Amino acid sequence: MSRRPRQPSLFEPVTAAAVADAFDPARLTQARVLAGMTKQELADQLGVSPAAVGQYEAGVIIPRTDHLDTLARILGVPVAFFAVGRPYARLDASMAHFRSLRSTRVGQRAKAVAFVEQLWELTHALELRVEFPPVNLPNLQPQPGSPDVEPETAAQRLRRHWNIGTGPVRHLVRTMEMNGIVVALLPFAATDEAARVDAFSTSRLSRPLVILTPDRANDVYRHRFTAAHELGHLLLHNDVNPGDINQEREADRFAAELLTPAAEIGLELPPRLRIPTLEPLSRRWGVSVASLIRRTRELGLTTEMSTRRAYQRLAYLQTTGLLQPEPITTYPGETPTLIGKAFALAEQHNSLTLSDLAKELAWPIRTVRTLLSNTDSRPTLTLVRNP
């Protein structure tokens, strides 16, 4: 089949013809997954059969140059995105932990994994220019033949390793970043099904990555617990087993002990579960009132019946709006900054611009901006028709 000569675009220096010679099938899959499309949906829009899309992604055939241009337009990426030659962290859903896994579908998980891959690519590009803090996590892997470390023990050892001391864990997300963990707050659109995945993390790459999605509940206490839960996975579960209820429970136990150590919170929890008494404790320890109720029960300080009544009273107060969630962004210590600061430093010392970075990664600038939590300061312009 002969290829038609193609006029290069004024706005896109890399042509589809050049990309066709260096087509990477895995990039097409990544772009499709990130766009949340099935092969069937993509095939319909491209005007080919789903089998053809399958063959493109399997590397059996290479899309025609005009199809590459159309694919780029449909999937919202520059055509250069489909080319080989960029560092690529290939993960699959069995290599990452997902919170709320049981309510997520395969496509949502694949999309979440593709976001982790993108975050790694961005981190890698920045790490070429800026030295990040070294990863500083205790080694909790048991010796061969020894039993696994209990989640509570792991949390206590991490507190000692990071010199947290007694009392609440202050500025958890910032502490994670200072210890070399890349954290990103990814604001999925409310309609985006991937937003049903609360958080995901992986330790399979050169640097541990955690992505938190705040949309389901913009609540700093839940956000902290989720971050601590993912930290538990990073420390305890090298052998990822997505959906394993035991691993999820262990990560919850780790988070509860990290944020509210039994030896300390046990002395402060009131004998009677009253919301006005729990609320100041919640604000001190940075955990939700619901979490404190659960902790009181876990530590055997109250009965099942009292716990149930306390949950009911809490639900009533939340429904009536008397107890409002505290938004994450009002707590700077719980908002990630590592990636944004690394970019600012690269901008300052290497004259790196958003546009350069987008070109290097072959991403649309808006994607770079989103992952950097870099808000667009440009005014929104609207075309106005003359009456």
User: Contacts by 175-178 with C-beta closer than 8 Å and gap 24+?
Assistant: 176/210, 176/227, 176/231, 177/133, 177/336, 177/337, 177/338, 178/133
- Which member of 283, 315, 327, 355 binds other proteins (CB under 8 A)? 283
The alpha carbon of residue 323 and the mean position of all alpha carbons in its chain are separated, in whole angstroms, by 27
Q: Is 38 in the site for other proteins (CB under 8 A)?
A: no
Q: How far apart (Å, rounded) are the C-alpha atoms in residues 39 and 45?
A: 10
Q: State the amino acid at position 305 in one-letter form.
A: M
Phi, psi of 329 (to 5 degrees): -70, -10
β-strand pairing of 209-212 with 182-185: parallel
Q: Which stretch binds other proteins (CB under 8 A): 27-35, 192-200, 279-287, 359-367?
A: 279-287
- Which member of 130, 210, 265, 357 binds other proteins (CB under 8 A)? 130
For residue 185, give the nearest of 159, 146, 216, 157 by alpha carbon. Answer: 216
Residues within window 223-252 making contact with other proteins, judged by CB under 8 A? 224
Rounded CA Rg of the chain: 24
State the DSSP string of 345-368: HHHHHH---HHHHHHHHT--HHHH
Query: Residue 265: is it exposed, middle or buried by C-beta count within 10 angstroms (0-12/13-18/19+)?
Result: buried
**Per-residue x/- marks for other proteins, 138-177, CB under 8 A?**
-----------------------------xxxxxx-xx-x
In whole angstroms, how close is the CB of 125 to other proteins at the nearest point?
Answer: 11
- Which member of 225, 254, 331, 363 binds other proteins (CB under 8 A)? 331
Residues within window 41-100 making contact with other proteins, judged by CB under 8 A? none
- Residue 7 bridge partners (DSSP): none
- What single-letter DSSP state applies at residue 162? T
In whole angstroms, how close is the CB of 116 to other proteins at the nearest point?
Answer: 19
Q: Is 285 in the site for other proteins (CB under 8 A)?
A: yes
Q: Which stretch binds other proteins (CB under 8 A): 42-50, 73-81, 289-297, 335-343?
A: 335-343
In whole angstroms, how close is the CB of 127 to other proteins at the nearest point?
Answer: 6
**Per-residue x/- marks for other proteins, 286-315, CB under 8 A?**
x-----------------------------
Q: Is 6 in the site for other proteins (CB under 8 A)?
A: no
- Which member of 40, 241, 329, 350 binds other proteins (CB under 8 A)? 350
Q: Is 353 in the site for other proteins (CB under 8 A)?
A: no
Q: Which residues bind other proteins (CB under 8 A)?
A: 127-133, 167-172, 174-175, 177-178, 206, 224, 283-286, 331-334, 337-338, 341-342, 345-346, 348-350
